[in-house]
Amino acid sequence: MNEASHDDLPTLPSDSGVFLALDIGGTKIAGGIVNAEGGLLKRATVPTEAAQGPDRIIASASKLARDLLQSHQRVSPIPVVALGVGSVGQIDFASGRVVLATSALPGWAGTCLKRALGTELGLPTFVENDANAAAYGEYRAGVARGYRHVVCLTLGTGIGGGVIADGQLLRGATGGAAELGHVAVELNGELCPCGRRGCLEAYSSGSALLRYANDRLESLRAGTASELAGYSSLTGAIIFDAAARGDQLAQDIVERFSRYLAAGLVSFQFAFDPECIVLGGGVSSVGELLLEGIRRALPEQDRHIRLLLASLGNDAGLIGAALLARDSL
């Protein structure tokens, strides 16, 4: 492993302050208190209630943050010095405004989280896209610590991406860089939730894996020999485990999923020249089975790509948002 240090990046003594963090997703808002080393001291969640609109989301996030602040202040004299926020959507980091958002959060585009939450909580506030925040968490406190050139993919309902280039988050002109799930892997292919066709997300997200599996099962005659037919509801773990046990249908599904994901990873390796590619999100919970499938699908000349499984789990976004606030102060 590359042993390059982060001595050029700012750090704080462990007793000089802690950080409040929020991770605003389509179904839930997570909040936490994070220390200067990236340790998660306290965590809580509330429903996003996205259908109620941006004002309700801001109100829920604010209440969650205040509750965490008060809980921390009751047990510790160490001050909370800043707020870091990760949110779905394209984020302009300088202004803390949501530039673009999907239908998962209706009306979310145009919301200025930095102003709304910073004013409400009275803290310096820094806002980043949630996948970028997760990538930063893995880079600063997770499996990619020690590297300076990192690509992170979050394989969940969709596919999120984050790129660290020479120790800095790659954001682009308007915060829209590293939307890696929307790199085309099949021209005029499957329809993606973004409205385009052939995106990696349409082939190698958790949703795509389950959709393809269910479509294959429906197309087969009743009584198929596949063990997948015995489940009323499939998960990624069920499919990968069945494939590992030799189930032919499951193997076909995993092969298709892995083939498209490998194609995306090769493109990212050429585009960004990372030292490692980190795979996180719900699909990554299958662990080595995921990596084995990808390695089989990679062309021989590309099997040097260093693949790592994310280590911070669902807390990567919270920890990354907090450490971005720390390093931005």
Q: Enter the DSSP assignment of 15.
A: T
CATH superfamily assigned to domain 18-142+318-328? ATPase, nucleotide binding domain (3.30.420.40)
Alpha helices (H) in the chain, listed in sequence order: 54-75, 113-121, 130-141, 201-204, 206-219, 236-244, 248-272, 288-297, 316-328
- Would you state the pLDDT for residue 194? 86
- CA 178/CA 37 separation, integer angstroms: 26
Tell me if domain 18-142+318-328 and domain 150-311 are identical in fold: yes
Q: What is the pLDDT of residues 51-66, one digit of tens each?
A: 999 999 999 999 999 9
- Would you state the pLDDT for residue 218? 87
Percent of the chain whose pLDDT exceeds 90: 88
- Would you state the pLDDT for residue 219? 85
* Higher-pLDDT residue of 223, 327: 327
Region 204-224: mean pLDDT is 88
Rg of the chain (C-alpha set):
20
pLDDT at 112 over 70: yes
* For the chain, domain boundaries: 18-142+318-328, 150-311
- CA 316/CA 299 separation, integer angstroms: 30
Q: What is the CATH number of domain 150-311?
A: 3.30.420.40
